[in-house]
Amino acid sequence: MIWNKHGLIERETLEGFSHASHPTAVHISENRYLLAYCGRNQEQHSHIFLRTFLIIDGKIVLNDDTTLALSPGLPGSFDSHGVLSCNFVYDGPKLYLYYCGWLNIAGGMWHCDTGRATINFDTLTAEREFFGPILGRRADIPFFAVATTVIKEESRWLAWYNRGLCWKKDQGKWEAVYGIHFACSNDGVNWDCGKELVIPFKDQYEHSFGRPTVINFLNYYLMWFSARGAANDPLYKIGFAVSPDGQNWSRLDDLSGITPSNAGWDDQSVCYPFVFEYKNVFYMLFNGNQYGLTGFGYATMEKSALKTLLEQNLSEFRAQ
Q: What is the CATH number of the domain that holds 234?
A: 2.115.10.20
CB 142 within 8 A of CB 133: no
- The whole-model pTM stands at 0.95
Residue 210: per-residue pLDDT: 86
**Residue-range definition of the domain harbouring residue 307:** 4-319
Query: What's the length of the chain?
Result: 320
CA distance 299 to 258: 9
Q: Which of 107, 179, 175, 113 is nearest to 144 (CA)?
A: 113
pLDDT at 320 over 60: no
Q: How confident is the model at residue 32 (pLDDT cuts 50, 70, 90)?
A: very high
Structural element, H or E, at residue 254 = none
Q: How confident is the model at residue 1 (pLDDT cuts 50, 70, 90)?
A: low
CA distance 115 to 100: 6
pLDDT at 140 over 80: yes
Q: Which of 235, 282, 213 is nearest to 6 (CA)?
A: 282
CA distance 203 to 214: 23
Residue 315: per-residue pLDDT: 65
Q: What is the pLDDT of residues 142-152, one digit of tens each?
A: 999 999 999 99
Longest dimension (CA), the chain: 53
Residue 201: per-residue pLDDT: 95
Rounded to the nearest integer, the mean pLDDT of the chain is: 94
What is the CB-side half-sphere exposure of residue 105 using CA atoms within 13 A?
12
Q: Spell out the long-range contacts of 250-254 with Cβ–Cβ below 8 A and sequence spacing 24 or more.
A: 250/317, 250/320, 251/199, 251/200, 251/202, 253/202
Residue 317: per-residue pLDDT: 59
Q: What is the pLDDT of residues 241-297, one digit of tens each?
A: 999 999 999 999 999 999 999 999 999 999 999 999 999 999 999 999 999 999 999
**Number of independent structural domains in the chain:** 1
Q: ∠ CA(298), CA(302), CA(308), 5° rounding?
A: 130
CA distance 71 to 239: 31
How would you classify the pairing of strands 281-287 and 46-56?
A: unpaired
Neighbours of 290 (CB within 10 A): 15
What is the CB-side half-sphere exposure of residue 194 using CA atoms within 13 A?
19
CA distance 217 to 275: 12
CB 85 within 8 A of CB 25: no
Q: What is the pLDDT of residues 198-247, one digit of tens each?
A: 999 999 999 999 889 999 999 999 999 999 999 989 999 999 999 999 99
